[in-house]
Amino acid sequence: MNQRRSFIKTSLALSAGTLVAPSDVLGLIKEKRKYGVQLYTANSVINDDLKGVLKGLADIGYVHLESAGSPLGGYYGLPAPEFAKLAKEYGLKWVAHHASGFPFRRPGGAPPSANNPNTPPRPPSRSLATHMQELVDEAAQGGLKYLVCSSTPVKTMEEINQSLEVLQKTGEACKKAGIQFAFHNHTAEFELVEGKRPFDMMATQISADLLKFELDLAWATKAGVNIPELFKTHPGRFPLWHVKDLDKDQKPVEVGQGYIDFEPIFKKAKLAGTQFFLVEQDAAPKPLENLKTSFTNLVKAGSKA
pTM of the model: 0.86
Q: How many C-beta atoms lie closer than 10 Å to residue 81's C-beta?
A: 13
pLDDT of residue 107: 40
**Do the beta carbons of residue 9 and residue 263 sit within 8 Å?**
yes
- pLDDT surpasses 60 at 232: yes
Mean pLDDT of all residues in 136-165:
98
Fold (CATH) for 23-101+123-303 = TIM Barrel (3.20.20)
pLDDT over threshold 70, residue 295: yes
Predicted confidence (pLDDT) per residue in 175-201, tens digit? 999 999 999 999 999 999 999 999 999
Helix 80-89, helix 50-60: angle, nearest 10: 40
Distance, CA of 159 to chain centre = 22
Q: What percent of the chain has pLDDT over 70?
A: 81
N-term to C-term CA, the chain: 26
Mean per-residue pLDDT for 210-232? 98
Q: What is the pLDDT of residues 48-70, one digit of tens each?
A: 999 999 999 999 999 999 999 99
Per-domain boundaries in the chain? 23-101+123-303
pLDDT beyond 60 at 10: no
Q: How far does CA 285 lie from the centroid of its chain?
A: 18
Residue 242 binned pLDDT confidence (cut-offs 50, 70, 90): very high
205 has a pLDDT exceeding 90 = yes
pLDDT in the model for residue 26: 39
- DSSP letters spanning the chain: --S---SSTTS--SSTT-----HHHHHHHH-GGGEEEEGGGGTTTTTT-HHHHHHHHHHHT--EEEE---TTSTBTTB-HHHHHHHHHHTT-EEEEEEEBSS----GGG--TTTT-TTSPPPPPP-BHHHHHHHHHHHHHHTT-SEEEE-----SSHHHHHHHHHHHHHHHHHHHHHT-EEEEE--SGGGS-BTTB-HHHHHHHHS-TTT-EEEEEHHHHHHTT--HHHHHHHSTT---EEEE-EE-TTS-EE-TTSSS---HHHHTTHHHHT--EEEE--TT-SSHHHHHHHHHHHHHHHHH--
